[in-house]
């Protein structure tokens, strides 16, 4: 069905008024009004107000028309379809990081740290609009010196990771030493309409245990799980390994949840392991335009470097919005990075990946497979 815009409604009303001789004007009146002329005509002005109201009704009719078909429904309309078949939209999730707390000397009384305590983080390693707070209360008991607690960001969306050793303390507890041995997770955006629509259409398969849809439905709701990959093993029916991009301490909990929600009790337990992270080092050569630009060359170099890290690791893009980054088992494709950077930087006439290397933690060359994930380590940018 074709729904008209407010301008199209207005012009159609004028054209109809001329055809039935309600107004007698030049033959090109509609064209003149379309171009913004002849606005002094009182009848034309009156029809414009009617066109505005009619357009509101048209938009409501369009919303009703699209909302009754899952192929065209969007937003809340799609959520209503999901409720009918018990397939809720996957929510946005915060980034999480585990903190290790310690005291220089044991105390004679308990130190009680309440839930919601603000975490102090190196300002260079976290976006200024984000605040991390502890997820639960934690106590360093008298006579002991250590404890641990998780904390989460106040933004339930995809964001850049906090590197390891970036946490500096807890507000209100200056005597407690705080560190994060592992980098944070990166959170997740709320599920987009197209992905959600596909899951709703597979609702009947989702309710069958041990199907991929059943795993997706469960794993998609776990906080702190940034990415996962299902790998069938040759050991027989029910043998499955799941690579989980999360903190290692979460693996037993995820394993137990999978067995309870996605499997029958007679099935062999799945194996959940972390991916083996590989380091990606990239060298770029870019040519800058001769047109006036808003940034200095050094600023553009830093922006390109950061955008390259975002392309690999995930996070906020220069032009707004966010991307997930590279998935488990995904190989680096220089052409895809170049296309992404061109869409972000109109200041650059050409972008070339002159060299890149993939290495393991020992510095030896490595290849990506289903058990490994690339993370950006260094980005060198040369501007000509």
CATH of the domain at 250: 3.30.300
Instruction: Give 337-341's long-range contacts (Cβ < 8 A, gap of 24+).
Output: 337/282, 337/308, 337/311, 340/307, 340/311, 341/284, 341/304, 341/307, 341/308, 341/311
- In this structure, is residue 194 part of a structural domain? no
Q: How many CB atoms lie within 10 A of CB 203?
A: 16
- Domain identity same for 131 and 147: yes
pLDDT on residue 35: 63
36 has pLDDT over 60: no
- In this structure, is residue 171 part of a structural domain? yes
pLDDT on residue 138: 96
In whole angstroms, what separates CA 318 from the centre of its chain? 14
For 144-173, what is each residue's pLDDT tens digit?
999 999 999 999 999 988 999 999 999 999
- In this structure, is residue 88 part of a structural domain? no
pLDDT on residue 234: 67
List of E strands, 24-126 = 96-102, 111-113, 119-121
- Domain identity same for 293 and 379: yes
Q: Which of 240, 273, 306 is the last residue of a domain?
A: 273
- In this structure, is residue 84 part of a structural domain? no
- Average pLDDT, rounded, for the chain: 86
pLDDT on residue 29: 61
- In this structure, is residue 74 part of a structural domain? no
- Domain identity same for 46 and 117: no
pLDDT on residue 233: 75
pTM greater than 0.75: no
**Number of helices followed by number of strands (H, E) in the chain:** 10, 16
The C-alpha R_g of the chain, in whole angstroms, comes to 28
- In this structure, is residue 54 part of a structural domain? yes
Q: In the 8-state DSSP scheme, what is residue 48?
A: H
- In this structure, is residue 228 part of a structural domain? yes
pLDDT on residue 307: 96
- Domain identity same for 264 and 220: yes
- Domain identity same for 305 and 364: yes
What does the block give as tokens for 319?
A: 């032009």
Regarding beta strands 271-273 and 240-245, do their DSSP bridges make them parallel or antiparallel, or are they unpaired?
Answer: parallel
For residue 305, the enclosing domain spans 277-383
pLDDT on residue 282: 97
């Amino acid at each position: 069905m074709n729904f008209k815009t407010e301008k199209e409604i207005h012009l159609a009303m004028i054209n109809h008024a001329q055809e039935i001789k309600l107004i007698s004007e030049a033959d090109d009146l509609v064209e003149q009004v379309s171009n913004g002329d002849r606005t002094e005509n009182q009848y034309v002005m009156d029809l414009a107000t009617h066109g505005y109201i009619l357009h509101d009704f048209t938009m409501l009719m369009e919303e009703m028309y699209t909302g009754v078909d899952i192929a065209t429904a969007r937003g809340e309309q799609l959520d209503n379809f999901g409720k009918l078949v018990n397939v809720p939209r996957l929510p946005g999730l915060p980034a999480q990081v585990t903190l290790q707390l310690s005291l220089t000397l044991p105390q004679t009384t308990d130190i009680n740290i309440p839930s919601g305590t603000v975490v102090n983080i190196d300002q260079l390693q976290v976006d200024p609009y984000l605040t991390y707070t502890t997820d639960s209360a934690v106590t360093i008991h008298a006579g002991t010196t250590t404890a641990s607690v998780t904390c989460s960001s106040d933004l339930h969306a995809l964001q850049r990771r906090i590197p390891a050793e970036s946490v500096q303390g807890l507000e209100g507890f200056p005597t407690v030493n705080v560190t994060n041995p592992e980098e944070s997770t990166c959170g997740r955006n709320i599920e987009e309409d197209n992905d959600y629509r596909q899951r709703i259409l597979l609702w009947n398969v989702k309710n069958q245990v041990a199907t991929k849809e059943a795993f997706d439905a469960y794993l998609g709701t776990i906080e702190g799980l940034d990415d996962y990959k299902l790998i069938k093993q040759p050991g027989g029916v029910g043998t499955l390994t799941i690579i989980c991009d999360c903190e290692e301490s979460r693996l037993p909990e995820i394993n137990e949840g999978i067995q309870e929600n996605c499997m029958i009790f007679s099935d062999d337990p799945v194996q959940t392991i972390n991916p083996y992270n590989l380091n990606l080092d990239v060298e770029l050569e870019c040519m800058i335009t001769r047109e006036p630009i808003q940034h200095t060359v050094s600023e553009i170099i830093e922006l390109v470097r950061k955008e390259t890290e975002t392309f690999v690791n995930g996070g906020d893009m220069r032009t707004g919005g966010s991307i997930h980054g590279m998935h488990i088992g995904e190989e680096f494709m220089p052409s895809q990075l170049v296309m992404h950077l061109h869409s972000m930087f109109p200041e650059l006439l050409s972008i070339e990946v002159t060299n890149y290397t993939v290495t393991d933690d020992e510095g030896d060359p490595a290849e990506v497979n289903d058990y490994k994930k690339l993370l950006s380590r260094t980005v060198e940018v040369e501007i000509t």
